Structure 1
Amino acid sequence: MSFFKKLKESITKQTDSVTGKFKDGLSKTRDNFSGKVNDLVARYRKVDEDFFEELEEILIQADVGFETVMELVDELKMEVKRRNIHDPRDVQAVISEKLVEIYDGGDAGSSHVNLQQDQLTVILFVGVNGVGKTTTIGKLAHKFKGEGKNVVLAAGDTFRAGAIEQLEVWGERVGADVIKQAPGSDPAAVMYDAIQSARARKADILLCDTAGRLQNKVNLMNELEKVKRVIEREIPGAPHEVLLVLDATTGQNALVQAKTFKEATNVSGIVLTKLDGTAKGGIVLAIRNELQIPVKFVGLGEKMDDLQEFDAEKYVYGLFADLVDEEE
């Protein structure tokens, strides 16, 4: 059975609206990436070195990342030789198969959020300004509230003008309390207050905003370390997740930001926003493969429920939906 056929069967079994969101949200990337791959396949009668050179260029243009592209193409060459593939059309399914393997393989950790069953779950959000960090916190609060969780928000970005007010707007919208102090306050003090308040409210989840400064990495590291020390002192083992929010439309710049924050703090997962707004959705694979950090959520639109848990099969389906849907 071909990989596309297996993928179609798997997607069909799930039959949820999320599959459609991945298909719609990745339409720009699919038109760009799959369109070029389809054109490449149509122009070649055999799978040769020229074919792979053009494929490399297509993958790099989709922001899959140079290192990942080189690894992927080497694996494709070996697989094509092993399976004795000569028809370029048969390579498309192998590409899809390898993309899923890249994401699911290795030891980068789970794509699922580490929620605690018997104590307060603390999730710390980091990232530069303008990537959609506060909006991500609001949308995740909405998601968790919809699952019956008691959610509290911590306004730890005390430096950016309007950051506290923006979080308060989201708190009102989703029905979550916001713990804050005056602008310019010590973020670590805000986190301490937030933990005490979350406990008093018997909250299940505490979502913590932080400042998005990246100009001085030393200050960033010191501030985040102080915040984490306060959290861990109050709740051993917390924060249970450190989620780095990245803007997918910035392409390789997102990879640079991820490397910087990984040096500054132990990032446990990525939230990739605005994936629907870029034709270069291959950045998902570059982050996963080159940094060994799982993408935990992706933004597939502007609606409240368009922030979805990442799923490798649904992602690949979003990239090759037209071909998968054609499978008999």
Structure 2
Amino acid sequence: MKTPPPLRIGDLVIDPPILQAPMAGFTNAAFREIVRGFGGAGLLATEMVNARGFVWLDEHEAEHPDRLWGVAEEARPLAVQIWDNDPETMAKVGRRLAEEYRVSVVDINFGCPVRQVTEKAHSGSYLLREPKRMHAIISQLVKACAPTPVTAKIRLGCSPESVNCNEVAQVVEEAGAAALTVHGRTAKDMFRGNADWDRISEIKSHLRNIPLIGNGDLDSAEKVVAAFENYDVDGVMIARACLGKPWLFAQAAAALRGEPIPPDPTMQQQRDVMLNHYKLVVDRFGEEKGTVLMRKYACCYAQGKHGARFFRMHVAKVSSAEEFYAVVDEYFPVIDNRERVMS
């Protein structure tokens, strides 16, 4: 295939046009450092930040949210995703992110399907049923953040019976957003079934100038290539699949350049990556909290490997560095399945 051109979000050039999705509880500074070390991601993103919570912390002179850990110092480009349903609150936080933190992109979460965000806070994907409010949020953020570009991430709709992504896409562009990312499921679907890339692709004809970024089920370099070959998108966003494979971006970038896809690291190398990740988390949060936080990451690194179930069962209980290292030494596989077959 022909190598896709760089993605342009306002004046920002994203090359390669492969984005790392913002994922609550996962895409913190430690994870981003691991991804950045492998390369291949054109734009990295933080976890989504609760705008109202940010304002409260600021007013009470408390430390800024943990989800902004590392943002001020780390390499650019970097996007910060925020959520709430109040235009003024969102604009206030967006201005701080643009002026004080000097982030590359401020992204708005209109796609989160979690009940705590939707039904309790009337935010995230809940707002897909209120395009006028979406317009107000985006337009105020655009003014507050200028010249930093503002983008939006949505789902196809709130449910399969109320798909309105084409209408919402037009609202997003009219309000001044610089790009649109679409996850190919509805909020009701959560992560069940398959992402509908045909629906994502159809949205492109409803946009005049801003780029369309597709998201959903991209778990291999081959699927990233296929997304560009088969669908009308300007960029792609990789989400859950990268949590246990932070080298996936580098593999996808090579494939888009028409180069051989680099093999996965050996099991020993993957183990070393995980241990480095653990050290970064503990350095920031301390041994006790860092070890507990690392449990979910460790489970991701083991996913799909021989003996993963036993490793997950034991690592889910660790609460100290000593316990963590002992479980890794005993249960994390160091020989991959192909080597087992050959032996």
TM-based fold match above 0.5:
no
**As a proportion of its length, which structure holds more helix?**
1
TM-score by length of 1: 0.38
TM, length-normalised to structure 2: 0.37
Structure with the bigger RCO (C-alpha within 8 Å, sep 6+) is: 1
